[in-house]
Structure 1
Amino acid sequence: MVSTLFSLKNLSFSYDGKKKAIEDINLDIYPNKKTVFVGSNGSGKSTIFLLLVGLLKPDQGKIFYKGEELKYDNTFLKSLRSEVSLVFQNPEHQIFCTTVEEDVAFGPLNLSLPREEVEKRVENALKITGLEDLRDAPISNLSFGQKKRVAIAGALAMEPKAIVLDEPTAGLDIEMVHELLELFEELVRDKISVILSTHDIETLWEWADDLVVLNKGKVLYTGDVQSFYLNQDKIMHQVGISPPLSFQLNFYLHERKKTKLLPFPRSYVELIEKLIPAGHKKTGQLTIVLVDKKTPQEISNLKVEHNKTGVVGSYARKLAKENLISVHHKFHAIENALLEIRNGNDFVLFSHSSLLDFINDRISSFEKFSKIKAKIKII
């Protein structure tokens, strides 16, 4: 059984034959994980991503994909890129066609797939990324954020085992950032590994499984996020990374009020619980509606007592955009749900069955953190 997705062994690369863009990199990236690369501009993040998909060839060292050393002939690279998709920071660098649907179909068509298979993949990619209503739209009419979604849809249409994204959240508003992160969560739950770079430290803290810190072409840290913030002050100072706000507030609480340092809050609802404990055990009920198990008519006819509602996942969000369900929280819905039931209020959460494990994981984490037992009903 292959234990790593990618293994980089003694990897070095230079663009001009003189200055090393990366030097003597040794790194393992694991499957079905959310792996985040951080580092200042010029630290080597983009170079490593280009090397992973064979767009660059190392001057020294080797790269292994699922245990097999990368080769640079057309046959191997075509196979690799059918399983590993790269999304550039600037979507203009990989959008070639005039309309959304044509561009999303570009990759699958180059695989010489049957037309029916191409159409199926395009339809699924448009649905996942919420671009169904824009399928015929000219690319030139799209916003920067919409173009990023087109680039991601094109990558997903390849049905990859892994997707590599260079600064996918750069230049996006906070709502679109959250929508993308939720999409990436769906991909991981669907056994697609997500590898991305970011400068967003709050995103890193809440979202990442594994962390890779680069500086001047060298790896300074690999491991879990909490251990990095707890034990790597020197590296944080060297790279210019500040701990996320929730981490700092938790530490100050421990220092000044002698609260327990662990566990660290990984979301704002856990931080609120630590700052202002609920102080009672009565909770509201969280009703989870699995929208893929019901017709739109059944969903609209639902009668559930609640104070607030929210959506998690691209399909549920699409129903909300079409006004088939009424929601108060289109983003951070799980956190808002936990905050409401913590305060004794009922909440209805619309989602997809593929995300049920993810939702349950977040609920379990909050229960362990707060010692509050949530009342859950799934319909």
Structure 2
Amino acid sequence: MYPPILSLEKVSYQYSDKTIALKDITLNIELGKKVALLGNNGAGKSTLFLLLNAVIKASDGAIKFQGEPFSYKRKEIRKLRQHVGIVFQNPDIQLFSPSVYEDIRFGPKNMGLSLEMVEEAAKQAMLLTETEALKDKPPHFLSIGQKKRVAIAGILAMNPTLMVLDEPTAGLDPYYAKKMMQLLDDVHSQERSILLSTHDVNLAYEWADEVIILNEGRIVCQGDPFHAFQDEEINQLSHLEKPWILEVFDQLQQKNDRMAGHYPKTKKDLFDLLKKL
């Protein structure tokens, strides 16, 4: 049994202007999980992500990395960032090299890997993200969707244990949003967790193993998506709507007792149940 990748115990964060962004956050991120983080604007999602990657330091509370206390020493920060990769909502923040290939090579190169290992890591990351054809292009010439895939490739090249993504589908049309989620499914494994923030309750319900809902800097709900989104009080507090699959199924249950106890996870699950009626 592996320890959590990251553990936060009563962690708080206060900005220099005295704004308290996070309050008493207690959280374990387990290996192999797909976790969706939700909350209205200002709930503290971005601040939490910066804490997970040690971009900022907790004002209070304790953090453990792979079961060991984390003290923000330079060596510890370096090790954590090799295992915890963050992909920002705006990929321009992290794309700075003259070519896509150089950008993707940057992470493994700075990990001290041999040239052969760096090139193999970049190659595999490009294959997974379908960015091989973009290899020689300057990142600033790419579309938003291409930039996001290149940013993900740069993180994947370091083979992280935890990938943290801030609104990975923001700015994408439905087709490319679906492609993005398929990519995240492809790179997820029992040895890698993915944590993403989203405002899309339907995406979170269908994709995630676990949902975390933040409100005013506090975790107000954490658990499986079905029970999280069935809590009307939490949904109202956090300005969230119930996923459409649950709304439709609730209506169907009222009309047909045979539907009881078989809540679908995806649109396909729902259609399969309807075929049996």
Distance 1:61 1:262 in 2: 41
CA distance, structure 2, for counterparts of residue 160 and residue 89 of structure 1: 18
- Contact 1:121 1:157 (8 Å CA) reproduced: yes
1:129 is displaced (CA, Å) by: 0.2
1:199 & 1:259 partners in 2: Cα distance? 33
Q: Residue by residue, what CA displacement relative to the aligned partner does 1:35-85 show, whole Å, maximum 9, x if unpaired?
A: 110001111111111101111001100111211122212111111111111
Q: What CA deviation, in whole Å up to 9, does each residue of 1:342-379 have, x standing for no partner?
A: xxxxxxxxxxxxxxxxxxxxxxxxxxxxxxxxxxxxxx
CA distance in 1, matches of 2:100, 2:59: 37
C-alpha separation between the residues in 1 aligned to 2:16 and 2:251?
A: 47
Instruction: Kindly indicate whether the alpha-carbon contact (under 8 Å) linking 1:250 and 1:261 is maintained by their aligned counterparts in 2.
Output: no
Q: SS where residue 189 of structure 1 aligns? A: coil
The residue aligned with 2:111 is 111
In structure 2, the residue matched to 1:233 is 232
Query: Residue 159 of structure 1 corresponds to which residue in structure 2?
Result: 159
Tell me the equivalent position of 1:13.
13
Shift of 1:272: 1.8
Shift of 1:17: 4.8
Deviant stretches of 4+, over 6 Å: none
- CA offset digits 1:294-340 (Å, max 9, x no partner): xxxxxxxxxxxxxxxxxxxxxxxxxxxxxxxxxxxxxxxxxxxxxxx
Query: Which residue identity does 2:270 align to in structure 1?
Result: L
Q: Which amino acid aligns with 2:40?
A: S
Paired letter, 1:99? S
Q: What one-letter code is carried by the residue in structure 2 that aligns with 1:100? A: V
Segment of structure 1 superposing worse, 121-130 or 254-263: 254-263
Report the Cα offset of residue 187 of structure 1. 2.0
Partner of residue 242, structure 1: 241
What secondary structure is seen at the aligned counterpart in 1 of 2:54?
coil
Report if aligned partners of 2:206, 2:266 keep a CA contact under 8 Å in 1.
yes
Gapped runs of 5+ residues in structure 2?
none
2:33–2:190 Cα contact (<8 Å) kept: no
For residues 161 and 5 of structure 1, the distance between their equivalents in structure 2, rounded to whole angstroms, comes to 8
Q: Would the aligned equivalents of 2:165 and 2:196 in 1 still touch at CA under 8 Å?
A: yes
Instruction: Give the alignment's Cα RMSD to 1 decimal.
Output: 1.4
Which structure has more relative contact order (CA 8 Å, sep 6+)? It is 2
How many equivalent pairs are there? 277
The residue that corresponds to 1:268 in the other structure is 267
| Matched residue type, 1:34 | K
Q: Which amino acid aligns with 1:274?
A: L
Amino acid at match of 2:50: L
CA deviation digits over 1:184-212, x for unaligned, max 9? 22222362111111111111111100110
- Distance change (3 Å), C-alpha of 1:190 and 1:29: closer
Q: Which residue of 1 aligns with 2:102?
A: 102
- Alignment TM-score, normalising by the size of structure 1: 0.71
Paired AA for residue 219 in structure 2: V
Cα distance in 2 for residues equivalent to 1:239 and 1:105: 40
